[in-house]
């Protein structure tokens, strides 16, 4: 096993467990093809600081464009805001809709069955 492969295996296997405390997961369904996409916000690296009156960030914002796995190329734009303690405050999506974890796993099963 090459060094890079080892490294990739470490990241693939350890990413979820090691960094979940700093991750916020969400699921969106593409309004065009119905694919449910699982995505994750890295709360340490992907948030932009928002500054208000006081010292330090008053909150954080997040913006990401997701594209499904090739069945269609519709971009799905996700915008979220978080408070100063990185708790989610609001979220909006263009080109799709937020769904729950259950819809994601239902969609996965539907895909593997067909
Ligand atoms: Zn789509």
Task: Tell me the whole-structure pTM to 2 decimals.
Answer: 0.76
Q: Which among 89, 80, 76 has a CA at the least distance from the CA of 29?
A: 76
Q: In angstroms, what is the span from residue 112 Cα to ligand 1's centroid?
A: 17
pLDDT score, position 14: 43
Cα 87 to averaged position of ligand 1 atoms, centre (Å): 28
What distance in angstroms lies between residue 57's CA and the mean position of ligand 1's atoms? 35
The answer to whether 63 touches 38, Cβ cutoff 8 Å, is no
Token pair belonging to 35 = 């694919």
Domain boundaries, the chain: 20-113
Model confidence over 45-88: pLDDT tens digits?
999 999 988 888 999 999 999 998 877 989 999 999 999 999 99
Could you tell me if 66 and 54 are in contact, meaning their C-beta atoms sit under 8 angstroms apart? Answer: no
Residues lining ion ligand 1 (Cβ < 5 A) are 30, 32-33, 35, 68, 72, 74
Residue 5 has pLDDT above 90, yes or no: no
CA distance 8 to 14: 10
**Contact at 8 Å (CB) between 39 and 78?**
yes
pLDDT of residue 80: 97
Q: Are residues 49 and 70 in contact, defined by beta-carbon separation less than 8 angstroms?
A: no
Residue 42 has pLDDT above 70, yes or no: yes
User: Going by C-beta distance under 8 Å and a sequence separation of 6 or more, which residues neighbour residue 21?
Assistant: none
Q: What is the pLDDT of residue 111?
A: 72
pLDDT score for 77:
98
């Amino acid at each position: 096993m090459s060094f890079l492969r080892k490294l990739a295996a470490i990241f693939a296997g350890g990413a979820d467990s090691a960094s979940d405390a700093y991750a916020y997961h969400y699921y969106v369904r593409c309004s065009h093809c119905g694919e449910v996409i699982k995505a994750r916000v890295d709360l340490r690296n992907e948030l932009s600081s928002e500054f208000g009156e006081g010292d330090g960030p008053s909150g954080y914002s997040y913006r990401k464009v997701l594209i499904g796995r090739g069945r269609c190329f519709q971009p799905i734009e996700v915008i979220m805001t978080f408070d100063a303690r990185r708790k989610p405050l609001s979220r909006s999506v263009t080109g799709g809709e937020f769904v729950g974890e259950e819809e994601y796993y239902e969609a996965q099963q539907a895909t593997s069955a067909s």
